Amino acid sequence: MEGSLNSLALLVNYIFVPGFAYGSQLALGALGVTMIYAVLNFSNFSHGEIMSFGAMITILVTYWFQGLGISVHPLPTALIALPVGIGGAILLCLLLDRLVFSFYRQQRANSVTYLIVSIGVMFVIGGITRFIIGPDDRNFNDGERFVLKARTFKEMTGLSEGVAIKSSQAITVASAFIVVAAVFWFLSRTRTGKSMRAYSNNPDLALLSGIDPNRVVFLAWVITAGLAAIAGTLYGLDKSYKPLVFLHLVLPIFAAAIVGGVGSPLGAIVGGFVIAFSELFITFAYKKVAAYLLGDGVLGDGLLQLLSTDYKFAVSFIILVVVLLIKPTGIFSGKSI
């Protein structure tokens, strides 16, 4: 009995807790990507850098607040700086749309042109971000470290394996839940949200219904930017902020969006968690779990892991490729292939 509880604690500590946090971050990112895809019909590669930009502004404001002595301990100061970060990301996106993307919309450019343009945008924003904040790693989480400490858990339960929940993980999951619920409520319950879905489904008919396309595009950018800033900040709180990371984060985010079905908001959420949990499940070493369940060394000396932890990031690409192979429209059949 205690063996199985211990192995459960192991799985919870190393897979479920981090999986929910990472999954929430990916889901928020993928939701932004899917939003732009649904409304503007292109794959926005610059999304990762928009996340980075929003997080950067949040960090700078956090430092400023810290200097002023403003704090909301035990919560991290970044939470009250986040609205400014969201505002900054929204301004950036609206500016980008005005200066860059609107031109290609008028031209009715094809999706590859958009893709290349968004890569150019990715360069520029990435460069600006690094130029402003520098390329270094930054830890800006000044709140309480843990909600639940491993030692406390052990003392509470008497198990030999602990379960720790970082406060950043709890904050991530909670805020992701609130944000996602808000977005879904907006899309399915409000007239404006429905008009966005209508525009995404059939733009010409939306015009014939009197829906203002500029307003839909405006809202899509606002929501995307908001999601991006939140996702970037939460990722930075949880793992620490480093501009280069966001270039690599774009791929798991796209993987999540595609696995779920691009253009489908529900798909983006599910995709985020599928990617996050697969990464952890496939690269977790089950040696200790097996030892608790079956006894030490029954299954040999191996680490009992399917892929070495080195390949953690690669798992998302493998899943992406597999999904593209067997069901290119994703789990929730997105817009089209």
Q: Which residues bind other proteins (CB under 8 A)?
A: 42-43, 100, 103, 110-117, 119-128, 130-132, 134-135, 191, 194-195, 197-198, 201-202, 204-213, 247, 251, 254-255, 258, 300, 302, 304, 306-308, 310-311, 313-314, 316-318, 320-321, 324-325, 328, 336-337
Those residues whose C-beta lies under 8 Å from the C-beta of residue 53, and which sit 6 or more positions away, are: 88, 89, 92, 125, 128, 129, 228, 229, 232
Least CB distance from residue 316 to other proteins, whole Å?
8
DSSP output for 176-192? HHHHHHHHHHHHHHSHH
Q: How far is the CB of 162 from other proteins (least distance, A)?
A: 28
C-beta closer to other proteins: residue 150 or 251: 251
Q: Is 134 exposed, middle or buried (0-12, 13-18, 19+ CB in 10 A)?
A: exposed
Q: Is the peptide bond before 135 cis (omega within 30 degrees of 0)?
A: no
**Bridge partner residues of 165 (DSSP):** 148
Cα-based torsion angle of the residue sequence 240, 246, 247, 253 in order, rounded to the nearest 10 degrees: 130
User: Closest Cα to residue 233, out of 101, 335, 140, 108?
Assistant: 140
- Owner of token pair 């790693």: 137
Nearest to other proteins of 146, 203 (CB atom): 203
CA dihedral 266, 268, 270, 275 (to 10 degrees): 180
Q: Which is nearer to other proteins, 178 or 321 (CB)?
A: 321
For residue 178, the minimal CB distance to other proteins (Å) is: 25
Select 95 or 112, whichever has its Cβ closest to other proteins.
112
Q: What region, left, alpha or beta, does residue 108 occupy, with left being phi > 0 and alpha being psi -120 to 50 degrees?
A: left
The residue behind tokens 């909670």 is 174
For other proteins, the closer of residues 42 and 153 by Cβ is: 42
Name the residue nearer to other proteins (CB basis): 151 or 248: 248
CB nearer to other proteins: pick between 49 and 238: 49
Distances in Å between the Cα of 67 and the Cα atoms of 36, 55, 61, 77 are 37, 18, 10, 11
